[in-house]
Structure 1
Amino acid sequence: MKTLLNLIWLVLAGFWLAAGYVLAGILLIIPIITIPFAIASFRIAAYALWPFGRTVVDKPTAGVGSALGNVIWVLLAGWWLALAHIVTAIPLFVSIIGIPLGWANLKMIPVSLLPLGKQIVRSDAVYPTYTHTQYVQP
């Protein structure tokens, strides 16, 4: 099911959102000091291409530098990228098949605004599934 949702996502919104993140990353590479922001943008571009089956979690080693960097990020690229998520979510919500994709799009807004101090991991690493062999009754 995740693969099917990812394929539909890729065609309807993922490619264009990832292109926006890549463009932001290229523009952020130009001034040398913003290379960490460009790396974050490229990381989120990969997530924007194939979001189902992955989730965003807080990085335990993030500190004050991430918080300060996020303020600069919002001013440089974050609000543009969050706006792109909102603009692409609206037509997805209009179509019946696009409603889950619209929700996924809105879930990506926090990471588009505050990417530093976050990490993208597989969903099953965060929310493991238990089989009958793993469950032991007390």
Structure 2
Amino acid sequence: MLLNQLSLILLGIAFCLNTATATEPQHRILTSDASKKIIAILDERGNVEWQSKTDNLHDLHMLPNGNILFQTNWTEIVELNPTTNETVWRYDSAKRGGNEGKKVEVHAFQRLPSGLTMIAESGPSRIIEVDASGDIR
């Protein structure tokens, strides 16, 4: 009986000394600094992991594939791979969709679950959905 109690006590002590600790998930923040005209990805400690120059910014998204969707100026939206710094998609509202020669500004955009990109344009006062080829759907 004493041996069983001693075994349980030792087992309890061993269990307490051998507890697993879970690692916290890594958190990253996509942010912008309008005064410096940059966008950046910060790690959980606030260190800059990646940054890029940009201009007037109204909207900014990190896509599920890790790419970043942002504006380079009032009219152009790009999807950039932050690992390679390669532009993988681009749409310029001033040069596409019948806006050539017209005053237009992009004020919001979002990649939709369908893969289309919704874009809110002022000037022509419209919301459009654009495919990967840059065609309005």
TM-score (norm 2): 0.25
Q: Higher helix proportion, which one?
A: 1
TM-score (norm 1): 0.25
- Which one scores higher on RCO, CA 8 angstroms, separation ≥ 6? 1
